[in-house]
Amino acid sequence: MTNLQPVRGTHDLLPEDHKRHHHVKKLARKTSELYGFDEVATPIFEFTEVFARTLGDTSDIVTKEMYTFETKGGESVTLRPEGTAGVARAFISNGLAQHVPVKAFYTGPMFRHERPQKGRQRQFHQIGVELIGVEGPQADIEVIALGYHILKDLGVLESTTLEINSLGDTQSRAAFRAVLTEYFESHSSSLSADSRNRLAKNPLRILDSKDDGDRKIVAGAPDFAEHLNDVSKGFIDTVQQGLTDLGISYQRNPKLVRGLDYYCHTAFEFTTTELGAQSAVLAGGRYDGLIEQMGGPSTPGVGWAAGIERLSMLAGDPPALDRPISVVPVSADLSGKAQELAQSLRNAGVSVEFSFTGNMKRRLKRADKNNARAALILGEDELKDDKIMLRDLDSGEQEAIPLNTVVETLQRIYS
């Protein structure tokens, strides 16, 4: 028999889930527009090297989490694990360097092969923004302010903490890398195998390790802030001052590094304690080297992404939509007439649930279940006088009203 289970780590978005997702996307889209970000959509799969080259060969995503397969044409493609690499690729392929700053908002599914648990799926969904082409810290402040604004709109800001850190410029990272390598080398026998592997390639990534043993060693690691040069210090100080001036509170977290290799200067994360081990809600940073590394013109960028599943778990149910009116024919004979009425109401902008089957009791029960505000009951007796019964489903009261005043009456009573 065919296996009808969804693939592990994937989920159907049934209406209730979808409503929550939709609410997150709608608010995020609207707020992004306020900041002048335009929506873009890149393909769900790209040539594997788009991700492999940009995310770095020590990142968890590239080493363990990518869904990579060969096409019939023998090309290696990968389902996108995140949004930035695709947007950067699109920036280059479409020659958008002429149009900087590019301010993009996106949303869609992402794919990572990791252990599924609450708030962690193999197909999950993100909203995200990228601000490409601005070198100064004002860009970092702007995208963090936008993330903050969206979390506030969703009513989840109170459940989150903004953590920020500086990953410095290239020079500072080289200096810190040397110090860090020395420190981790002196503890290498106690590091996890993954982290020993990172030690030679990218010791900074060890700071991001989720292994308990590693975390103990990381706790005593040197502090990046002490190895930043003046340019890097100036940059992060301006970001922090800008956030303070906008009334956005944050905590400096010296251990915060981004899992991806192309980040520099500002790294930030809105975290929560309300989703168990899945603490990251919205995370991002500056990626000045990315576009050049991909083969494009040297172009700075900063952005973030947030998980829609995690956001909607924090946000809970969205406000209810307008309640529909249920149109109920008393008998099957009147179905056609009732459906015509339903259609004319919809043409007038009224949300209508048409009652398809069942006896009167069942139909009214279903109207209740659909959270209908009122039922229009079409019966022979009233129809003879060109009337229809309007029943308020909250109070149970009903009266016969002239058919040709239905729209006006509904608008008068219910809007």
Nearer Cβ to ligand ATP (130/353): 130
- CB of residue 359 to ligand ATP, shortest distance in Å: 45
Nearer Cβ to ligand ATP (280/383): 280
Query: How far is 219 from 191, CA to CA, in rounded Å?
Result: 13
Peptide bond into 101 cis (omega under 30): yes
- The verdict on 127 binding ligand ATP (CB under 6 A) reads no
337 burial via Cβ count (<10 Å: 0-12, 13-18, 19+): middle
| List 10, 63, 181, 278, residue binding ligand ATP (CB under 6 A) | 278
Query: How far is 78 from 69, CA to CA, in rounded Å?
Result: 6
Longest distance between any two alpha carbons in the chain, whole Å? 94
- CB of residue 36 to ligand ATP, shortest distance in Å: 23
Q: Are 89 and 102 in contact (CB under 8 A)?
A: no
Distances (CA, A) of 13 to 67, 244, 306, 318: 21, 39, 18, 15
- The verdict on 283 binding ligand ATP (CB under 6 A) reads yes
Query: How far is 8 from 309, CA to CA, in rounded Å?
Result: 16
Mark the segment that binds ligand ATP (CB under 6 A) among 37-45, 121-129, 288-296, 405-413.
121-129
What is the per-residue binding string for ligand ATP in 290-309, x denoting contact by CB under 6 A? ---------------xxx-x
Phi-psi group of 74: left, alpha or beta (phi > 0 → left; psi -120 to 50 → alpha; rest → beta): left
| List 207, 281, 291, 406, residue binding ligand ATP (CB under 6 A) | 281
Size of the site for ligand ATP (CB under 6 A): 19
- Residues 97-116 binding ligand ATP (CB under 6 A) are 112, 114
Cα R_g (the chain), whole angstroms = 28
Closest C-alpha among 183, 235, 246, 191 to residue 216:
191
Nearer Cβ to ligand ATP (251/405): 251
Query: How far is 386 from 400, CA to CA, in rounded Å?
Result: 10
- The verdict on 205 binding ligand ATP (CB under 6 A) reads no
- The verdict on 124 binding ligand ATP (CB under 6 A) reads yes
- The verdict on 121 binding ligand ATP (CB under 6 A) reads yes
* Structure-block tokens of residue 155: 């009513």
- CB of residue 373 to ligand ATP, shortest distance in Å: 36
- Interface positions with ligand ATP (CB under 6 A): 82, 112, 114, 119-121, 124, 126, 259, 278, 280-283, 305-307, 309-310
